Amino acid sequence: MKFEYLLFNLIVTVGPVVSQFNRHIKQISQWRLKLLINGIVMIPYIIWDVLVTGSHWHFNEAYTLDFRLFGLPIGEWLFFITVPFGCLLVWETLLDAKLSTRLRALRYVRTILYVAVPIGIWVFSTGKQYTGLVLCCIGLIGLTDTLLRTELLLRLKTYIYLGIVAGLILIFNGYLTARPVVLYGEAYQMGYRILTIPVEDFGYGFTLMLFNVILYEKLRTAQ
What is the residue-wise DSSP string for 91-155?
Answer: HHH---GGGGSB-GGGTTHHHHHHTHHHHHHHHHHTT-HHHHHHHHHHHHHHHHHHHTT--GGGB
| pLDDT value for 14 | 73
Over range 69-79, report the average pLDDT: 94
Q: What is the pLDDT of residues 29-39, one digit of tens each?
A: 678 899 999 99
| pLDDT value for 190 | 94
Please enumerate in sequence order all residues whose Cβ is within 8 A of that of 214, keeping only pairs 6 or more positions apart, or say none. 141, 144, 145, 148, 150, 152
| pLDDT value for 19 | 60
Please enumerate in sequence order all residues whose Cβ is within 8 A of that of 112, keeping only pairs 6 or more positions apart, or say none. 142
Q: What is the pLDDT of residues 199-220, one digit of tens each?
A: 999 999 999 999 999 999 999 8
| Confidence band for 21, pLDDT divided at 50, 70 and 90 | low
**Tally of domains within the chain:** 1
**Percent of the chain topping pLDDT 90:** 62
Q: What is the pLDDT of residues 106-159, one digit of tens each?
A: 878 888 999 999 999 999 999 999 999 999 999 999 999 999 999 899 988 899
User: Is the pLDDT higher at 56 or at 86?
Assistant: 56
| Domain encompassing residue 79 | 4-222
| Confidence band for 25, pLDDT divided at 50, 70 and 90 | low
CB 138 within 8 A of CB 207: yes
The whole-angstrom separation of Cα 75 and Cα 182 is 11
The whole-angstrom separation of Cα 93 and Cα 105 is 24
